[in-house]
Structure 1
Amino acid sequence: MASNSVIKPKTQAGKRALARREEKVIENTKSCLLIRGGNTSEAIGSCLKDLYSLKKPHALMLKRRNPILPFEEISFVEKMSRKYDCSLFAFASHSKKRPNNLVLGRLFNYQLLDMIEFGVEGYQPLCTFPVAKVPVGTKPCLSFQGEEFDSDPTLMAIKNLLLDMFQGPRVEKIRLQGLEQLIQFSYCDGQILVRSYRILLKSSGSKIPRVELSEMGPRFGLRLRRHKLATPEQSKQARRQPKVATIKKIKNIVPDDGLGNRLGRVHVGRQELDKLQTRKVKALKRPREDFNAADGKKIKKRRLSDNKKRKNKE
């Protein structure tokens, strides 16, 4: 009879591996699992290798071929994602019905969230561009051109998936010299054109440098074939954030313009300066001409009370 006890790691490497997979307020950088199908063409195989180069070091490429069909059976992908702790995957295959086929997808809690199938067209590999490449692990700038990315529901889901796939590690501060790569996605005639550029900062004679773009590859187009999007319940569960990670908004306090200061608005009621109590000195005493009619009645009452006191003394 099998026991339900949790097996504890016996080595330090095992403890570190379990610590990386523990629940965190801010999740780790998403890793991508790249899988080759049972049959691949030279173009789609080279495209998968170039995607691996763009995603390194947050990527893992399986060496063996795997004759699977993700849209029919996803269990193998889920099993490998759990084994290697990857929440993104890319599957490449080639057939007569679907030539140069590329499937990009995401997993949540090691279960399929969504995946989209593309046909790769007009592919030019990374090695054909004689330009110096960016260092491994560089966080790229992502650019999306086309109104359809903000209006069409399917393209909005594709944009969200591409952001997850290529955004790289999360950083708190960015320096100008660190902006070295630009990946551009343009929607044109039912096709998403993917271009990768190296950002060059040239001297301009002023503090602001002159920016030039040099294409470094790869270059290809993605034509939508099939898609399997997440249900509203799955999407809501995947986007849920813990209360610790959410920043509580403080009323009437706004940050200053990038200087690290905070400005607050204080609501003060109407102030009646005439009734303000000040120090009782002769210099601050008002003359009798300044008293209004109500104050004049008080003066008369005081005079009558003073006269009564004098009579009682006499």
Structure 2
Amino acid sequence: MSTWQALAADPCEVGESPFWHPNEQMLYWVDIPSKKIFRSNVFMGTVESWAMVAPHDLEPGCIAPARGGGLVIALRDGIYRARRWGGPLEKLAAALHNTKTSRFNDGKCDTLGRFWAGTIYEPRDAREAALYCLDRRDDGHAPVLARMAGGATVGNGLAWSADGRTLYWADTTAHVVHAWDWNASTNTLSRQRVFRQFPLKPPGWQPGQPGYGGRPDGAAVDSQGNYWVAMFEGRRVLKLSPAGEVLSEIATPVQCPTMVCFGGDDLQTLYLTTARHGRPAAELEAMPQSGGVFSMRVDVPGLPVNFFAG
């Protein structure tokens, strides 16, 4: 396994939702607090940014590519469709959550083209976050946004197993990743269980101190069914087996990795977004690449990104 390489991009406050676009051969990601979407031709070293402007100057929690071109974008107040890069936004569905206290966070599409997005409850003092699914595959009817799961505070780590039978979803605050049996055709979840519980942050722990391995943030699954998860504040990415066992640990050059995805022609490049927002000055001085985007070659290919149908 190789070492991390930094992309030629300005640091994000909170980089998230990376995906590799196989048709464009480009890497996409968002900076949530800065209300921007980015894409990069990693071969040329070029980076483009797209600011969310009025009347849609809201935080993009997550994005996914769409069939026919463009993106589906989860903003604070709803889910939108852009037919082209930088183009106008069409609102597909209004948010079902209270937008004063919650916003969309981590999300992506399933294999049948439905868009899933979890929320974050910003006061972080109650389990008000939920996981939603938007289905727009029937052009004759309005898109349907449905609540699929709940009981979280910060929804993260959404992914599906390689065989498409298991859905993973994390609650970052609770340091837990849950798993469900998932029926793709009926789009139903059952048999919720703990996939991996991580130790909570020790009382009084401060960044730079030992004794804390971080909490689960964004994730991706490889072709062997392993679950790769960025451990926020833990300075590491973990590779977990389908049974939830730690197979390997990859140190990161920053304290707060946020999400991984697989890319490149062979899907054997692991991309990583990171955060710097609200981090202590001493940490940023010691880790000046915080907020950057990184890549590393890995031995096992990932799964290709799923496209939104609609």
**Higher relative contact order at CA 8 Å, sep ≥6: structure 1 or structure 2?**
2
Shared fold per TM-score greater than 0.5:
no
Q: Determine which structure has the larger strand proportion and give its number.
A: 2
Q: TM-score, structure 2 length as denominator?
A: 0.22
Q: Determine which structure has the larger helix proportion and give its number.
A: 1
Larger Rg: 1 or 2?
A: 1
